[in-house]
Structure 1
C-alpha cells in the first residue's frame, strides 16, 4: 500500500519477523519509507501501552514523507497479545520492550533488506529512536536513561551505540510521585535521566494530567530538565496525552483531537532529527522562530 503526505509517495511493508529468542511471541515490525531517495536516516519507533505496529500513522507517514525510514515493532503489551496488568509476564515487559528495540537495531540490515532492498538506501550513521508514553521510556533507555530500583539505585545501562539522537513524546517523569496503582503495577516507572547524554527532543502537553502520578503536566518535562545537554523541549499548551491524536484519527484514547497539533508534533520531530543529523538545519530553525513569534500555543526551549 502507498499513500501521499506532503506530495511525497511512501510505501509500507509488514509484517517482517525479527529474530528475538526466548520472547514467546514473534517480534514483528512494519517499515514505512519514501519510494525514492538514498542515504535516508532511520527512526525506530516504540509505541505506547497496548498499541502495535499498525498505530501512529499520522506521525509515521509524515516522517516517511520527510525522508525517514521508520521501523515500528509490536511490543508484548500490544492488545493483540492479551497480556494484562495481572499477567505474570507484565512485570518484565519493560525489559522486553527495550530488548525489542535492541533486536531491531541489531537486525536492521536484514529488516531493511526484507523491506524491498532498503538496506542500500539508508544511512546507518543516522539512526534515531522515538517513542510515545511507555514507548518514550523505552526509547529513553537506548538514549542512556536508566531505571531506579526500590532503593533508588540506578540499574544497568541499555544505551545502544548505533543511536545518534532521539525524541521522547509524553515521557514518564520521576517515580517519587507515582499513584498507589502505578507504584504496585508499574514499579519500573522510576526513570533516572542523569545519564541520558544522547541529543534528544522532549515533547510534552501542557494539559497532560497523568493518572499514574500525583504531579501535574510538568511531570512530562522531567526528561528534559533532569538530563544533560544537548536537549530541546517542545511544549504544546493545550496538548493532552495523545497530543491531538498521534496514535490515529478518532482512536478511543484521543481526548484532545486536533489534526494541526498532530502535524506540529510530527514536523517538530522530523525537523529536530534532520538538524541533529546535520541534514537540514533550516526547518528546526524556522520552527524555533515561529514559536518565538507565535501566540504561546506552543513553545520550544533548549539547552
Structure 2
C-alpha cells in the first residue's frame, strides 16, 4: 500500500509538470492574424550538421517588443543588400517593426535582434529559398518584414548554390526541394523539443514555401504529388515550374515576375501559373528585370511586400480580410498588373 501511495504521488507530480514541459504548456495556442507588427528576432541553426548536405538556416521570428536578448546585441548599423545588389547599404534604424504604405514611400524595416525572446503564441512558418549565388540575408528586406507581420521565416543557405559555396553547382537546384522538406521536418521536431526557444511557438500544420529565381524553382519543386498537407501555400518570385511540380494536395500559389526579366523570362512564370492547380495569382511588374523590385525604395517593392504579406495572412492565418485587400494592395497603375484565378471571394 505504501508503494502504491508513493507511485500515485509521483504520477501527480509528473502530471502537474515542471521545467521545460511546463514552459511549453504556457505558450498560448494559435491565434488569428496579428493586428500590428512585431519586433523581430533572429537565430542561426544547422540542419544535419554531420550529414552529407549540412543546411545552415537563418530564422527570423516575431519577438517580444522591447525585450533584450540574453547577450548584448551589436549596436553598429546593420548592412543589407537586395538580391541583385552588389553593394551593401547601412541601415541605421532602430528596432521597431514598421510596415510599408501600399503606394507611397518606403519606411524603414525592422532590425532583427539576435537571440531576442520569441513573442507569445504560435506562428505559421515560411521556408524561403534564395537564388543562385545568393544568401538568406540578401533577402532580409522582405523576409524580416514577413517576420514582423507574424510569421517565422526559415531561410536555408543551399550547399552548392549559395554565394559562398566552394563547389558551386547550378544543377544542384534539383536537390533543393528535398532540402526544403528536410528543413520542414526539422522544424516540426524543433517545435516539440523541450528547452528550445522556438518550442511550442511553431504552427506546424501551417507552412508556406517561397523563393526567388532558382529559389522559385525550388519552391515549385516542393509541391509534388502527395506532398504533406502541412505545406499550405507557395510564392514563386522570378521562377517557374519543374517536372512534377504543382501536383496535389492543391495549395494556393502567388507568382511574382518582372515583365522584362532577362534571366527567367516572364513567359516561364506565366506557363507555371497556367499549369498550377487551384487558386492562383500572377503579379507582374512591366518593364522590370530579375528582382530590383525586392529592394526597398525601388518601384514595385511596396506592392510586392503588401501582396505577399496579404497572401500569407490569407493562406496561413485564414484572414479573409487580407484576401480581400490583396488586389488593391498589389496594384499601382504603371507599375504592376495582377491576374487571378479561382481566388475565393
In structure 1, list runs of 5 or more residues that go unmatched: 1-5, 145-156, 174-189, 250-257
What is the SS of the residue equivalent to 2:293? coil
Shift in CA distance, 22/280, structure 1 to aligned 2, threshold 3 Å: same
Retained in 1: the 8 A contact 2:282–2:340? yes
Is 1:19 the equivalent of 2:45? no
SS at match of 1:10: strand
CA distance in 2, matches of 1:115, 1:98: 29
Matched, 1:79 2:163: yes
1:223 shift after superposition:
1.6
Partner of 1:64: 147
Cα distance in 1 for residues equivalent to 2:120 and 2:321: 19
Largest Rg, 1 or 2: 2
Q: Deviations over 1:114-168 (max 9, x none)?
A: 9952231221121111111111111111122xxxxxxxxxxxx583442111111
Say whether residues 1:117 and 2:172 are aligned partners: no
Moved more, 38-47 or 190-199: 190-199
Find 2:321's aligned residue among 279, 282, 288: 282
How far the C-alpha of 1:22 sits from its partner, in A, is 4.7
Is 2:309 the counterpart of 1:270? Answer: yes
TM-score with structure 1 setting the length? 0.72
Whether contact under 8 Å (2:226, 2:247) holds in the other structure is no
Q: CA 1:168–1:115 in structure 2 vs 1: closer, same or farther (change >3 Å)? A: farther
2:234 to 146, 166, 169: 166
- Distance between the aligned counterparts of 2:49 and 2:229, measured in 1? 19
Shift of residue 21 of structure 1? 6.5
2:138 aligned counterpart, secondary structure = coil
Query: How far apart, CA to CA, are the structure 1 residues paired with 2:328 and 2:269?
Result: 24
1:200 paired residue among 246, 253, 267: 253
* 2:329 pairs with 1:301: no
Q: CA RMSD in A?
A: 2.7
Counting matched residue pairs gives 248
SS in 2 for 1:120: coil
8 Å CA contact 1:58, 1:262 repeated in 2 = no
Aligned to 2:293: 244
Map 1:114-193 to 2 at 5 A.
Answer: 117-144=197-224, 157=225, 159-172=227-240, 191=243, 193=245
Q: TM-score, normalised by structure 2?
A: 0.64
How far does residue 282 in structure 1 lie from its aligned partner after superposition? Answer: 2.0
Which residue of structure 1 lines up, in the alignment, with residue 272 of structure 2? 223
